Amino acid sequence: MPALAVVRTESEPQPDRLAGLLAESSALALEYGRLAEQRAALARFSSEEAEIIGEIGEIGRREVEAVKAWAADPQGNPPAPLVKEREKAAHKLAAAQANAGAAGVAASEIEARQREVHAKQLALEPQIVAEIFDRIEAEFAEKSAELSRLITATRQAAAPLAALKVVLAEQGRALADSGQIDDARPFFARNERLKIPDLVETGPTNGEVAEAARYWRDRANGLRNGASQ
């Protein structure tokens, strides 16, 4: 006779979807931050290009000043242009422009990736919020069930009090019906004196609701920050 397969009856642990969403959101935030740092690093190539252009402008200014000084007292040959400095600056500028061009392409690619990451973050946000309030709704159901138990216990605790008032009223009516009015009055007075707290008035006050609302906001923020309890 073939052996029977063993069937597992216990439920498999379910993955924590909220934790997964928060982990994904955190990873995207880290990636976005790294991309922003890379873009900031690439920006220095544009700064270098601008600095070298400024250097070339300074060379031109010095040449102009030299020519003006010679023109004021034209003795000997006019000043020669700063060819070597211009050649050196031109080489630096060509390298800087090449780097800036490559940096521009790289920055465009990084910016495109940032847009993708940001779009994923935006898509995750409503899922995270929905999961948080699914968790909170489950906790609400637990608290609602607890309140129902308390209401039942309160109602049951009120039953003997109400029953005593019924008995007092019955006793008073019995005496009154038999003509013993004076003897009946203390029972009616006692019945009137004994007050049962009004169960309808046990609802929360506005202040209590406001305080409890702060609890739920803190709970939502706690879940957002990864608190599971």
Q: What is the pLDDT of residue 158?
A: 85
Residue 34 is assigned to a structural domain of this protein: yes
What distance in Å separates the CA atoms of residue 172 and residue 192, rounded to the nearest whole number?
12
The answer, yes or no, to whether residue 201 has pLDDT greater than 80, is no
Q: What is the pLDDT of residue 136?
A: 92
Residue 47 is assigned to a structural domain of this protein: yes
Judged by DSSP in three states, 105 sits in helix
Highest average pLDDT, of 1-15, 85-99, 123-137, 206-220, comes from 123-137
- Quote the DSSP letter at residue 73: S
The answer, yes or no, to whether residue 125 has pLDDT greater than 70, is yes
Q: Give the list of residues 6+ apart from residue 219 with CB closer than 8 angstroms, or none.
A: 136, 139
Query: 129 or 52: whose pLDDT is higher?
Result: 129
pLDDT digits (tens, 9 = 90+) for 9-18: 444 555 689 9
Position 118 confidence tier, pLDDT thresholds 50, 70, 90: very high
**What does residue 160 show for φ and ψ, rounded to 5 degrees?**
-60, -35
Contact 93, 52 (CB under 8 A): yes
Q: What is the mean pLDDT of the chain?
A: 85
Q: What is the CA radius of gyration of the chain?
A: 43
Position 224 confidence tier, pLDDT thresholds 50, 70, 90: confident
The structural domain count of the chain equals 1
Position 182 confidence tier, pLDDT thresholds 50, 70, 90: very high
Report H helices in the chain: 17-72, 83-177, 181-193, 206-224
Residue 72 is assigned to a structural domain of this protein: yes
Residue 9 is assigned to a structural domain of this protein: no
The answer, yes or no, to whether residue 58 has pLDDT greater than 80, is yes
Tell me the two tokens of residue 28. 């995207």
The answer, yes or no, to whether residue 44 has pLDDT greater than 60, is yes
Q: How large is the average pLDDT for residues 172-196? A: 91
Residue 39 is assigned to a structural domain of this protein: yes
The answer, yes or no, to whether residue 161 has pLDDT greater than 80, is yes
CA distances to 108, 168, 194 from 155, rounded to whole Å, are 70, 20, 17
The answer, yes or no, to whether residue 6 has pLDDT greater than 60, is no
Q: What is the pLDDT of residue 83?
A: 82
Q: Give the list of residues 6+ apart from residue 71 with CB closer than 8 angstroms, or none.
A: none
Residue 25 is assigned to a structural domain of this protein: yes
Q: What is the pLDDT of residue 134?
A: 92
| CA proximity to 127, closest of 16, 15, 18, 32 | 18
The answer, yes or no, to whether residue 109 has pLDDT greater than 80, is yes
For 42, other C-beta atoms within 10 Å of its C-beta total 18
Domain containing 203 equals 17-224
Residue 8 is assigned to a structural domain of this protein: no
Query: 137 or 3: whose pLDDT is higher?
Result: 137
Q: What is the pLDDT of residue 5?
A: 44
Residue 149 is assigned to a structural domain of this protein: yes
What distance in Å separates the CA atoms of residue 124 and residue 3, rounded to the nearest whole number?
48
